[in-house]
Structure formats: C-alpha cells, structure tokens
Amino acid sequence: MKLHSRAVHAGDRKRPPQDAPTWVPVTTPIHTATSFIYSDLDELDRVFGNELPGQSYSRYSNPTNDALEELVNDLEGGAGALACSSGMAALHMAVNTALIDRQRVILAAKLLYGATLGMLTKVFEPAGVEVVFADFGDENAVRAAIAEHKPGAIVMETIANPLLQVPALDRIAAMAREAGAALIVDNTFATPLIVRPLDHGAAISVHSLTKYLSGHGDVLGGVVVADSDHIEPLRNLSRTVGMILGPFESYLAMRGVKTFPLRMERQCASACRVASWLSTHPAVERVYFPADAKHPDAANIKRIFAPGLYGAMVSFDVKDAGRPEVYRLMNALKMVVPATSLGDVHSMMLYPAIASHRELSPKHRERLGIRDSLVRLSVGIEAPEDIIADLDQALRA
C-alpha cells in the first residue's frame, strides 16, 4: 500500500485471541491498565521473557502504544519503534542506545535544534561523553571529524533547524557505516512523506510526535524508529529508563497520524507559495527554503527528497530588524499564531533568539547564522492567500 493508505490502516484492528469472539474495534482503544494478568502463570512468565507476545506491565508495552509504534514504524520502514514522553526523550533514548556498545563520542551537526545542542553539551558531556561538532554542509569536514574522533554516534537533522540546511544524508550514512558509528537523524521537519532516513542508511530516525505527525497542538510526545541492530537494545533500555508515552497521548497521536500525509502535502504546497511571495517582499532581506533553486544544498535536496515536496518550514530575515522590530512584527499578526512549536494545522511563527535557540549565546547564534532578524514560520493548512495577507499586514505594521 501507498504511504497515505498505510497512515490510515497500519496498527489498527488487531484480531482477538483465537478462542475469543470475533468482534474487532475499528480504532485502537485507550488501554489504561498498568498491569495485565493471565489465567496461567506460565504464560505470564513466557511474556516477561519475550518468549511469547503479550502484555505484562505498561512500562514494557501497552496495546495502545504498540499500535502507534507499529503505525510510525510502518511509515518509516524500520525494524521497530518506541513511543516516548517527548521528542527530546526520544532523542535521548536514541543516543544512549547508540552508545551502549560503542565509543562514547558523539559527532553532531553544528546547526541543530537548541534543546538538542543543550542536551549534548549539558547532559552527555558532563556524563563523560565527548561531543564534537562539525559543519554537516561540508562532507569533507564530516569525513575528517569521523577519522579524527572515531564517534560511536553521529547526530544530524534531515532539515536543520532553523536555517533549513539539508546535509548529504545518504553520504554521511555511508561514512557512518564505514566507521562503525550509528547515524541518528531527527526527521521531524521532513517526516517520512518526504524522507525516510533508514532507507538512506541511517540507524535510527527520531520524531517529535508533537509536530507534524500528530499535527493538532494537543499531544506532547516523541518516537524512535530503529533498524534491526538497534531495536532490541532500545526496547531493553526503555524497560529500565521508562521514558514512555501514556496511552491517552498515544491514542491522540495515532489519530493525528492518519491525516498527516494530507496535511503535509497541503502545507508543503502552501509553503512554496509563501516562500516565493516572501522573496519579493520589500521588508524581507532573505528567505531560507529548500525549494529555492539557489539553495546551497540543492543537489542533496534533489537526490534525497520526494519529488515536489520541500517541507512546510520557511525562515526569513526581516530587513534592518532587531528584537524590537521582530516583536512588532509578531505582535501585529492576526491569524498566524506567535507560539513556540511547529507542524500544527494552524500557521505559527517563532523567534529563535528567544525560543528554540534561546540558550545559545548571542555570539554563538551569530556564528551559526541565526541573526536577531531571523524568524521561523511553520506554514499551516489555512488558505495560503490568508497566510500571505496576514504576513503582509504584519510586515507593513
């Protein structure tokens, strides 16, 4: 089946045991039980020992979570998935899984979500893990860093937050495999509709479920999709650490995933129109968007992305703007929501300097190209004409 059909059907309508009545719920119910019992203790023993499929304790697995994990794994093409309590929890689980039996060195892209940079430098480094950063837009620099530091894990984003760079995922994956490192890709901005990192050789793909997959601003969650070498270590680690998603959140996330391909296609198409319009606006200095023919990573985008899809994130520098001018712009918005997230059905604008990359020093942001004039726009499913009209009046305010 095509991805659109799998998004609707995968994970749902599990058949009951052979000797039970044949009714099947159309959608997966919310299973709130923390524990599960069996008529024969030998069965429970075998379930605990992973000799028999089944449920024992919801920190280990839960039928609602299982359905969501099966659905996202099907979309990403992995060996299995783990639903986590947040996107950052998912990334934390992914990195720890990759480092279980490898050298405790992480090679990471310089340009990443601010909380990811904070996790690497404020959590993993103090715990004794060496963290090295490189420009992932420069393949030679990545190759040299791998040769010098011999990382156990490599961390990157499919579409880098917030300047929308697109590293050579396939070639970096080949470098990682050759070096025996696990490539971890945050695929939140791209989604499996545009890119499936494991198809290009990544070991682990991570999503913030909060964003495009759920898509309605009402679920906080994350998910890790792993290849066959990493899924069992990931699950074993999860049993101990317990960074799992609750069944209510899993249900809501699964409901959102069913429509994500339709939403994402609309958002991608609208983002192209918005980005093209912004590039002609006299109050806009520069637009960052993967569909731009002059994008520095155009060759990677053409090779890796699904045809005609470029994501729904648009970043742009407001001409001659500092914080006061950006505040004025965002305060003037009437429909676009000035909020700290992305991927919702409604369009959202974020100011990286005070939100996603707040913890970085001004000089660090400047070195990365994140200027005080930069805003990040997540294009929603509204009529693109209305999005453009709201941006226009706010830019002229």
Active centre residues (catalytic): 59, 113, 186, 211
Residue 156 phi/psi, 5-degree rounding, is -150, 170
Question: Which of 95, 96, 81 is closest to 226 using CA atoms?
Answer: 81
- Say if residues 159 and 190 touch (Cβ distance below 8 Å): yes
Strand partners of residue 350: 376
Which residue blocks in the chain are alpha helix, DSSP H? 3-9, 41-48, 63-76, 87-98, 114-119, 139-149, 169-179, 191-194, 231-241, 247-257, 260-278, 298-304, 323-331, 362-368, 384-395
Tokens 């039980």 belong to residue: 33
Dihedral (CA of 381, 385, 389, 392) sign = positive
Query: Which residues have CB under 8 Å from 380's CB, separation 6+?
Result: 267, 270, 344, 345, 346, 347, 348, 387
List Cα–Cα distances, 340 to 24, 78, 162, 256, 383, in angstroms: 39, 30, 13, 19, 22
What gap in Å lies between CA 166 and CA 39, rounded to an integer? 54
Residue 11 to residue 254: CA distance in whole angstroms: 9
Q: Name the residue with tokens 């990931």.
A: 234
Q: Are strands 204-208 and 222-226 parallel, antiparallel or unpaired?
A: antiparallel
Q: Which residues, in sequence order, are bridge partners of residue 155?
A: 108, 184
Residue entry with tokens 């060759």: 299
SS3 for 158? coil
